[in-house]
Amino acid sequence: QVQLVESGGGLVQAGGSLRLSCAASGFTLDDYSIAWFRQAPGEEREAVSCISGSNGGTYYVDSAKGRFTISRDNAKNTVYLQMNSLKPEDTAVYYCGTDLRLTSLQYRDLCNYKYLEFWGQGTLVTVSS
């Protein structure tokens, strides 16, 4: 049974940092990719970053480049999203997701999918100005 559990969200002032975690179970991270998406109130869910579980290849959307870093710990089957220099517009529910129909090398494609096979429950990030 595939499960994704996010943690690490919270309230932070603009300019601050948070590290989100996505603990995966029911599959081996080495064989697949993980995506971080976010959804702000009244907005569509959008991709933030993706990582290959096999070779560590990464992809970032423009708004995340230079501020966010995605990483993985395969021994813990966990993916992280380090978010620095946070802005009020980063306020959203952050979700990790995966799609086992894609290979671990298709991490860019994962970030372009809207309807991933599996999602976590989300963790709320609120950035105050």
pLDDT at 114: 79
For the residues 45-49, what does the mean pLDDT come to? 97
**DSSP label of 108:** H
**What pLDDT digit, counting tens, does each position of 11-31 carry?**
999 999 999 999 999 999 999
CA dihedral over 4, 10, 13, 19, signed as positive or negative: negative
Q: Could you report the per-residue pLDDT of 103-125, keeping only the tens digit for each?
A: 999 999 999 987 899 999 999 99
